[in-house]
């Protein structure tokens, strides 16, 4: 199973104004929004959602792939205009996991004790979501992490590349629980690149019935 995110149409040349690109994204993403059929936890689309590009990007996935660089640029420009902090990292030169840790730590102002491993990345991203560092959470509409040339890093470090996306998806979901928006946009020069699903959560028993003994007749 592959998570494809928002389906993008064929686009006009790079000179197309960003607001027109946003409308194209909105028109194509809107039909994929869940419809309220009366079930628990369903979402009813509202009219103004069609003007919320960030929502339309996140409605199906917290990690969205781009191939055309100009489309990514136009999308991030639109998000910046809407008050989002856009933090870009060039992953095309990342040949080792250490390259990733060094540059993401610098971009998001990780503390000096950052241990430069994937567990530490997850911990620090939790702090980022909490607004402790990395972005002005109280002053911006959300945080957009952009990785360009991510196919190159995936080629060198496939396991780490997949885990990083899973971390981003998990933390983006956590951010929503606290009323914050965090998303990840990837640019790949390989139009056929694929990743495993990210951000999956298990089906768990409630706290009161967690123990097997609590679920006896």
pLDDT at residue number 48: 56
Burial of 47: CB neighbours in 10 Å, binned 0-12, 13-18, 19+: exposed
**Contact indicator for 128, 142 with CB cutoff of 8 Å:** no
| SS3 assignment, position 19 | helix
The pLDDT tens digits of the residues spanning 132-150 come to 999 999 999 999 999 999 9
Joined tokens for residue 26: 């909105």
Number of residues written out for the chain:
217
pLDDT tens-digit readout, 165-212: 999 999 999 999 999 999 999 999 999 999 999 987 677 788 787 789
CA 49/CA 195 separation, integer angstroms = 28
């Amino acid at each position: 199973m592959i998570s494809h995110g928002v389906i993008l149409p064929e686009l006009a040349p790079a000179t197309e104004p960003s607001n027109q690109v946003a409308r194209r994204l909105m028109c194509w993403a809107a039909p994929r929004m869940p419809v309220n059929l009366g079930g628990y936890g369903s979402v009813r689309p509202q009219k103004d959602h069609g003007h919320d590009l960030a929502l339309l990007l996140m409605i199906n996935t917290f990690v969205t792939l781009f191939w055309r660089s100009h489309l990514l640029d136009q999308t991030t420009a639109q998000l910046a205009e809407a008050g989002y902090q856009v933090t870009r990292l060039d992953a095309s030169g990342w040949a080792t996991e250490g390259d990733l840790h060094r540059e993401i730590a610098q971009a998001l102002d990780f503390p000096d004790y950052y241990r430069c491993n994937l567990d530490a990345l997850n911990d620090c991203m939790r702090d980022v979501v909490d607004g402790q560092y990395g972005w002005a959470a109280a002053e911006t509409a959300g945080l957009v992490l952009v990785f360009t040339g991510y196919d190159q890093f995936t080629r060198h470090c496939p396991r780490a590349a997949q885990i990083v996306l899973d971390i981003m998806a998990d933390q983006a979901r956590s951010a929503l629980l606290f009323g914050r928006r965090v998303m990840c946009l990837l640019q790949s020069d390989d139009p056929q690149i694929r990743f495993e699903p990210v951000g999956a959560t298990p089906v768990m028993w409630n706290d009161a019935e967690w123990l097997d003994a609590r679920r006896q007749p």
